[in-house]
Structure 1
Amino acid sequence: MQTPTKLEAAACSHTGSVRTTNEDSFGYCLDAGAFVVCDGMGGAAAGEIASRLAVDTLIERICDTERDAHTQGVLEAAIEAANRLVYVRSERDTALHGMGTTLVAAVIVGDKAVIAHVGDSRCYLFRHRQLLRQTNDHSLVDEQVRLGQLTQDEADRSPLRNVITRAIGTQKTVAPETSEIDLQPGDLLLLCSDGLTRELPDDRITELLNRMLEGGQEDVEALSSGLVEAANQAGGHDNITCIVTRMPADIIR
């Protein structure tokens, strides 16, 4: 596989095999190194509106900032702006009351990536054939697993597995969880909604990425669409969205 000389990204989103509407949204700006996936919730079209508002607000805020100034604080401020907009919109329109969305975002500058998330959408780093999860779900069962109150198998089968403990737009303020990672040439970042990870456990995602790369499907479009297709084949019980980003060979350090 030839390593690219510039940052690459591709996204794929699908309603899944069961639902009739797609409440997931995504956006990215290669020039700003900004990527975001949101999974909306709420009645009627509220979830779709919440996720779209959050994505558009974050991308606009990041793209309007000088790239060298991209820091954890800038990303957190963009998320707070998205939260405020979704919350105010839901308070003003009774049809949208209670709407919200999860969010996972990454901003890449040079050989660093700042990751932030709210809810159970995830970010993974794929490096040297291994998948490394970068986020912890803000969900009831995931927190019980971290506290040792549930096993992962019990959490996966729990009827409460859809209950999230943090979301964009459901409260006046929100506290995103953030981290920074060092990147290497050829690294892949995967941002996805839980429609992907509910159908494909981490070891299955690892297997699929390795199989596609070894089979010559090295372009990011093939990787993102291949993962979504596999999630649909595994059941597709929810909307499925992912962004795959590949680091260039000449990362500026």
Structure 2
Amino acid sequence: MKKFINYLNWSMLAGSTIIVCLFLIVILIELFSKGLPAITIDFIFKYPSEGMTKGGIFPAIIGTVLVTLLTTAFAVPFGIACAIYLGEYAGNSRTTRLIRAAIRNLSGIPSIIYGLFGLALFVQAMRLGTSLFSAGLTLGLLSLPYIITTTEESLKRVPTTTREAALAVGATQFEMIKDVVLPVALPDILTGIVLTLSRAAGETAPILFTGVTFYTSGLPGSVTQEFMALPYHLYILSTQHQSVEQVRPLAYGTAVVLISVVFILNLVAFYMRYKRRRYD
């Protein structure tokens, strides 16, 4: 009976995995079969023209890269510092448990709520306006709970004996964390960060209210200007354009580029985890 139950459970898991993979394959075939013909050198490196019915997506690519870099600069240092404090200094008090519960709850808040919060805080209260900076800070807030959680879990994987050995030879707690714990946990931390940033790069709702625009005549010259981004550009071409059927090939091409960027970031994360497992 136990063998039958184990076989049944394994069959259900394998069947669910196969079904998900089949849906993924169908979606990718649909996107790439219709999007690859639209991808050319001009499509990548030119500006949209003639009401976005021709031209390329270069400013949207650059805008996506810039807002992701701003998100990284804001979320990564604060996220890692918060995780180190919670995991290494704060202990297991009731307050710490409440903070961890709040962080996990923040991870489940819909991204549109972060967009509205960014509009209220950064655009209106702090008077930053709809800009690249406001959008980057909003995506940073969205990414913070994931970075904190993954970093703290990575720190927990470092054996306690490693910490005790460092303290036993005279290292302070700060030196132990900086020179022993963080280097060991760094591959897993980087994996979580890359996966989080790949998710942030594909978000539309948080930047919808805070800085993204339908079209700009040039690249953003400063962080106080509006910008174009691949997710919003795809949304406009797919649903809001006055000639949806005419620009549909461009929409598929934009989707392929966006998926490729996210896929490359995920490959980087998987490679880091693979190297980590080989190290273990």
- Which TM-score tier does this pair reach, normalised by the shorter chain? under 0.3
TM-score using structure 2 length: 0.24
TM-score using structure 1 length: 0.26
Which has the larger share of strand? 1
Which has the larger share of helix? 2
- Find the structure with the greater CA-based Rg: 2
